[in-house]
Structure 1
Amino acid sequence: MSSPIDTPDSAAPALTPRLVAEGLGTFLLVAGAIGTALFASSRFPDPGGQSGAYLAVALAVGLAVLIGMYAFGPISGGHFNPAVTLGVAAAGRIPWREAGPYIVAQAVGGLVASTVLTLIGTFGPEGWLAKAQDAGFASNGWGTLSPGGFGAWAAIVAEVVFTALLLFVFLSVTHPVRGTPFAGVAIGLTLTLGVLATLPIDNASLNPARSLATAIYGGVTALSQLWVFLVFPILGALIAGFTYRALFDGASPDGAAATSRR
């Protein structure tokens, strides 16, 4: 049974509307998740009072992805994440030549979202924006940027493992033959779980576009640590994409992956 996220070759939208859909979906994700992190918790820099904020942010991420999958997934595939795009390409679901434009659209959507949040913050209580930026603007990181005080290697392992798990679920539930109409629910819940697990470690990236969007406004430390959250979610996604194709689809063009767009 095909997932509603999949679009048959003959009905696939042109690249431009797919890129717009990816930008809008990433905007929704970053605005919802980071907006929740920044505005819903007045004690963001204090890890001692974060249990409620963790749950709120994780649910915001999951809801944003679930909504985005059903709103924009039928147009673009519902990636909203450079790591997902590259993992999907590694699994043979989209051509590699489309990965670059998708990633640019996602980065732009995320940056526009964080810019809008910054604009909102300029009209907030006196000193609110400066305080949020001094605290890292919900950026990913380790050491002083880690809510739990974890180090760089903890962040690296967490990003590889949980992004790979996200890709395994994404590729399974959006499979062109074995997919499910509830793909958006499964992906949203998987991301919620991943965010709950990794928020105390490194503020939960699993998405380079999300990390870039906040690091731009998060100060020197956030920018200096950004490379980890660009490289290692992508590494985890590529591992999952190639592994999924080899284990469950096979590398042969006669396999199910051959049903993807060429």
Structure 2
Amino acid sequence: MTLTREQIRRAYIDACYQEIEALKPGNVHIFADGHRMNAQQFFDSAQVSSGPVSDPALSVGQRILAAVAATRSRVKTNTNLGILLLCVPLAQAAAEGTSDMQSDLAKTLEMLDMGDTRDVFTAITLAQPGGLGTTSEHDVANEPEVSLLEAMRAASDRDMIARQYVTNFSDIFAGGLSIYGSAIKRNEHAMWPSVFVYLYFLSNFPDSHIVRKHGAVTAEETRQAAEKILARIIGIQDGREREKLLLAFDAQLKAKGINPGTSADLTVASLFASKLIWLLHNGEVNA
């Protein structure tokens, strides 16, 4: 089945909304603002970026740049750079219409060229992500010299989003999707499957955004704390008790200015991939 542009656009918006509606400690959500941002900015960002994300006339780089520009125009801050870097290749792969989305994704990533690199570098500069700094190799402030995939490979040892490009999004397909599916099978409902995906990423990997802004030690301390929180949440059945525990952790992180933004980005991408795969397979069943 070939997904329509509207199906892809709607799946993207739904994934963004589902993530912001989940109580994700340290990140922005409907339960609490944070880091001088609020939930409405993320809802607005999802809406205005959904057009470029799903535009079949644009390349991956062009979609990312157009979506970042639309977001900056609407909310005046960076709410979704990481989300776009992950979701646009997924959107492009889904448009191929086969049942093996990860195989289609591999083809999408292999076809990225210098034009994509140039557009993504421009998008990153426009978004002005916190803690980016400079690098000695393939700095976004310079004219690109390699394909986007090569640029991501150079950053993959220090950035979880770049790592997805060189591992064919393995942490999403083998990790995030698996955790989401397991939560559904356990009869978790409402926001909880999304919360478990977020806590999976936060407890298994030092968050790249925290590393950039606060250093590796703080990122590892946050990972360990999330690991303990996750273990406790699994053992609690009452939703309100879970919320109390997560809100306390949320306040603790935000008081220190700690924002696990990369874990949130990976969560959106996992939710988006799940929705796209469901649409592809559901279409085959009903064809």
Structures share fold, TM-score greater than 0.5:
no
Q: TM-score, normalised by structure 2?
A: 0.28
Say which structure, 1 or 2, has more relative contact order (CA 8 Å, 6+ apart): 1
> TM-score, normalization: structure 1?
0.30
